[in-house]
Amino acid sequence: MRTLPFLVISLVVAGLVFAGALAVGNDYIFFAGYVVLQYVVLSTAWNILGGYCGYVNFGTGAFFALGAYSTVAIYNLIGKNELSHVIPIPVLMLVGGIVSGIVGFGMGYLTLRLRGAFFSIATLALAVVLETLIVNWDYVGGSRGAYILRPENAPLIGSYVRYLFLTMLLLAVGSLVIARLIERSRLGYGMATIRDDELAAEASGVPTLRVKLIATTISGALMGMAGAPFPYYIGYLQPDSTFALDYAINAIAMPLIGGTSTWIGPLIGAILLDSLQQLITVTISSAVNLLIVGCLLVAFVILAPNGIVGLFQKYFQHKDDDFVGRRPASLDEPPAVAPSGSAPESPA
Amino acid sequence: MIFSFDLLTNAIVSGILIGGFYAAMASGVSLSFGILDIVNIAHPAFIILGSYAAYMMNHDFGLDPILTSIIMLPAFYALGAGIYQIYYVAFEKRGQESLRGLAFFFGLLFITEVTLVLYFGVDYRDVEASYIGPTLHLANIDIPLRIAVPCLVSLLLIAALQLLLVRSFIGRAIMAVAQDQLALRLMAVNPIRIKRIAFAISIATASIAGAFLIIIQPVEPSVGRDYIGRIFAICVLGGMGSLPGTVIAAMLIGVVESLTSTFYGPSWAPAVSFGFLLLTLAVRPAGLLGR
Amino acid sequence: MSELLEVDNLSKRFGGFVALDNITLTVPAGERLGLIGPNGSGKSTLVNCICGTLRNEQGSVRFNGRPIDGMPAHKRTHLGLARSFQLPRPFPSLTLVDNVRIPRLYTVEARGVHRTVEEVDEHCHGLLREVGLEAKARQWPRDLTQVEMRKLELARAMAAEPKLLIADEAMAGLTHSEIDDILALLVRLNEKGVTVILIEHIMSAVMSFSRRLVVLVSGRMIADGKPDEVMRNPEVEKAYLG
């Protein structure tokens, strides 16, 4: 299916989802649904760099927080008065996306020449550095946090949370369309070769650094866009909870559980896992919630490496679930070296 | 902040002492990441596990924490061996260690942390020992014993490890497995077994490092997260698998953190080690004493 | 004939180990060069340095008159340098035809040659046909034998439409007739204007294909000339027979 029909169908489905939520008659569905949609965006964004390219980013929380804090900065800039609710959420998303995209590009430029493992550790480092910077920046509240006044209503739609839900719904559709577009394009092929064997990819003519930079920038930008409305959603923003590793583990677990090789995986993973988490948080406790995420992640990664999508393919299409794109076993295979980079080398 | 020479000296000394302790924490990762190329980001969680083991023994039986950690060594060793076996079968053999292996350890980090929260709660726990509390005063320098003792024991531990790596057969096999598995096989040594031993030793160090941690500061389950960056920064800066390098890097980071904290305020300290890490990765990934 | 590849005083060390010691080599366009030497003599290291997979500390490489030192590997491939890996490195999560498609998508396209999806597809199938793998076009590399993987390596290198093709032990394990097929393929390529460097242990193949022979021993070039003369060189005899 070409992209345009897909986009149209997705918008129709989104419309149905919104109508369905309205029909429930209780605003709680919008509060809960917002979080699910937010995670659809975050996991789809993570998967572009993680699932497609094979580079694990632990800094999802940082990009998310950048988007949120961009909104806080604008809110403070415009003045904490009635005028601020005039700024439409899509504009805030755009700003958040640009800020996060630029940071994503910068981080990529500094770290993507390194081997995958170093890159991942560097993302952790970056997340902490960013958090420390924000915590020490009083303009956005620093460690005390930031308050945002959520307007009561949005024009035409009704309560403000419905407006938040709607914009996040559209962002989710957008991110899925982007992921699918990438997956089926030449870029997607290039990303797959990087994931499979970066050395051979370079030798085949794939500009690996450029492809990885594109992935990091898009991924970071989408995460920032998901974070931009968050201050309005939550009302009070605190650095340590915003930057938390909890975002990182969700953004990693959802695609890995859903399936990393295609855009459907993160969608399934986000819907299933976040719904489960909300259920558990409400019925048992939020600590148990994270325990379950951790256990599910470990279980899936060991037993069903291709995720739910993979299991589906195995049982209904008879594709081998064990096969995730591993290199042929070879004892003296040269270690992977970032081709254009400064990682340690050994005799090939 | 008024600059005073005493303040400076004290900051440097305490930085060096803390650095000795950091080295113990990082030594395990030096083994697992530096030598075996396994990105065990759950290592801090195992350290915290060690801290709670020390806490329980200290709280219930009055046992010295460092003594506890030594008693717990076999348990941690077994844990490490078990984890490596799973890691090997599920990921290394399939060639998926870079994505799924990493996610595996991330998952373990959370599982360990949350299990501790569910069992012990989020209150800070600490231990009591004769050397926690008193401070030595040498000239104008204060040396708190609760930092000095772990630092000393840590250096002993690392010296012992280094001796093991350089002198014993197992140790040299471990160094060899990082470089040439085929050659090891040809010598009738099973590289998988060697790697399992090495990883088990790495987790065993976490037991002792955990005892040090709870001696130096009160501990609650999520404290481990603060140390992930420090540990990997030290490992990379120290040259990935060089234990002497790890000690030097640890002390360097300890001193810089201490100075930053003293003169700029403690809220900037976390950024120090991470900033170091980013800098090292950008400029010289082989570290100070890299191989 | 202009010099296509010029390697000048190239040296490569790994720590204290000298893998390549002042290699100087020029390859004119259209050449059929054989590169031989005992295992560990540095042949693959030389290829890695020429192609950009490894960085040499000393010396320089020029391709088509243009210095390519420091250029990332993919740019060198765009310029017309292609190689097959001694230990095959296919892309495991792509089918055979997609494996071969990658250099077309990224290298040939980068030169501004635009073809329709159908043309590209046909070309990829054609390449697989030439190495005898067309029947398995929609299968995965893990379904291949070692020998078939080497053929895939070669097909993928050819897909980049190179000016210079370096075939690194592409024929290990092949039967006599398969070797002849691959040799014929390389000869056809050469007749179309592709310069070929053949790295091989199978002496009959090397002798029949090469118009020039270079011998590498312990990182040093000990002979460079016509195949018959080189094989009669006493140093070469010593290197092979002890």
Question: If we measure between CA atoms, which residue out of C81, C86, C121 comes closest to residue C104?
Answer: C121
Nearest to C72 among A193, A204, A339 (CB): A339
- Measured between beta carbons, which residues in chain A are less than 8 angstroms from residue B33? 117
Question: If we measure between CA atoms, which residue out of C34, B63, C116, B117 comes closest to residue A288?
Answer: B117
Determine how β-strand C195-199 pairs with β-strand C212-217.
unpaired
Which pLDDT score is estimated for C199? 92
Q: How many CB atoms lie within 10 A of CB B183?
A: 13
Q: Of A142-156, A206-220, C55-69, C132-146, where does the model show the most confidence?
A: A206-220
- Measured between beta carbons, which residues in chain B are less than 8 angstroms from residue A103? none
Task: Pick B273 or A179 by higher pLDDT.
Answer: A179
Which pLDDT score is estimated for C241? 64
Give me the mean pLDDT over the C74-98 stretch.
92
Give me the mean pLDDT over the B16-23 stretch.
94
* Prediction pTM value: 0.89
Is A337 part of the contact surface with chain B (CB cutoff 8 Å)?
no
Q: How many angstroms away from the CA of A319 is the closest CA of chain C?
A: 12
- Confirm if B73 and B207 have CB atoms less than 8 A apart: yes
Q: State the alpha helices, DSSP H only, in chain A.
A: 3-24, 28-47, 60-78, 89-111, 116-135, 160-184, 186-196, 198-203, 208-227, 230-234, 239-242, 245-258, 264-283, 286-303, 307-317
**In this predicted model, what pLDDT tens digit does every residue of A236-294 receive, in sequence order?**
888 776 667 888 899 999 999 999 989 999 999 999 999 999 999 888 877 788 899 99
**In this predicted model, what pLDDT tens digit does every residue of B253-262 receive, in sequence order?**
999 999 888 8
Q: Do C72 and A340 touch (CB under 8 A)?
A: yes
Is C156 part of the contact surface with chain A (CB cutoff 8 Å)?
yes
**% of chain B surpassing 90 pLDDT:** 45
Task: Pick B181 or B257 by higher pLDDT.
Answer: B257
Question: If we measure between CA atoms, which residue out of C215, C164, C212, C216 comes closest to residue C186?
Answer: C164
- Confirm if C113 and C94 have CB atoms less than 8 A apart: no
Give me the mean pLDDT over the C107-117 stretch.
82
Is A322 part of the contact surface with chain C (CB cutoff 8 Å)?
no
- Give the pLDDT band of residue B139 (cuts 50, 70, 90): confident
Asked if the model's pLDDT at residue B61 lies above 70, the reply is yes
Is C71 part of the contact surface with chain A (CB cutoff 8 Å)?
no
Q: How many CB atoms lie within 10 A of CB C111?
A: 13
Q: Do B103 and A253 touch (CB under 8 A)?
A: yes
- Walking along chain A (348 residues) 10 residues at a time, the average pLDDT comes out as 87 90 86 95 96 92 91 79 68 91 90 81 81 76 75 75 92 96 93 92 94 96 95 84 79 95 94 93 84 93 91 75 39 32 34
CA distances from A186 to A206, A207, B137, C76, C117 (A): 10, 12, 68, 20, 11
The answer to whether residue B270 is domain-embedded is no
Candidate from A54-58, B29-33, C231-235 with smallest mean pLDDT: C231-235
Q: Do A294 and B107 touch (CB under 8 A)?
A: yes
Q: Do B285 and A332 touch (CB under 8 A)?
A: no
Question: If we measure between CA atoms, which residue out of B281, A325, A211, B165 comes closest to residue C72?
Answer: A211
The answer to whether residue B244 is domain-embedded is no
Q: How many angstroms away from the CA of A69 is the closest CA of chain C?
A: 38
Considering the segment(s) C3-87+146-236 as one domain, its CATH architecture is 3-Layer(aba) Sandwich (3.40)
3-state percent breakdown (helix, strand, coil) of chain B, nearest 5: 75, 5, 20
Q: Which residue of C has its CA nearest to A208?
A: C74
Q: Which of B100, B187, B189, B280 to mutate to test the interface with A (most CBs of A within 10 A)?
A: B100
What's the CA gap between B282 and A271, in Å, rounded? Answer: 38
Candidate from B3-12, C82-91, C118-127 with smallest mean pLDDT: B3-12
Q: Do C73 and A189 touch (CB under 8 A)?
A: no
Which pLDDT score is estimated for B73? 95
Asked if the model's pLDDT at residue C164 lies above 60, the reply is yes
Complete domains list, chain A, with CATH: 12-317 (1.10.3470)
Q: Do C106 and A199 touch (CB under 8 A)?
A: no
Is A114 part of the contact surface with chain B (CB cutoff 8 Å)?
yes
Q: How many angstroms away from the CA of A32 is the closest CA of chain B?
A: 24
Instruction: Fill in the amino acid letter for A243.
Output: F
Asked if the model's pLDDT at residue B108 lies above 90, the reply is yes
Is A342 part of the contact surface with chain C (CB cutoff 8 Å)?
no
- Domain residues for the domain of B185 are 5-30+39-223
Q: State the alpha helices, DSSP H only, in B30-72.
A: 43-61, 65-71
- Measured between beta carbons, which residues in chain C are less than 8 angstroms from residue A323? 92, 140, 142
- Measured between beta carbons, which residues in chain A are less than 8 angstroms from residue B271? 128-129, 132-133
- Measured between beta carbons, which residues in chain C are less than 8 angstroms from residue A199? 53, 73, 89
Domain count, chain B: 1
- At residue B48's C-alpha, the angle toward residues A244 and B230, to 5°, is 60
The answer to whether residue B189 is domain-embedded is yes
Q: Do A186 and C106 touch (CB under 8 A)?
A: yes
Burial track A289-325 (b if 16+ CB lie within 10 A, e otherwise): bbbbbbbbbbebbbebbbbbbbebbbeeeeeebebbb
Q: How many CB atoms lie within 10 A of CB A216?
A: 28
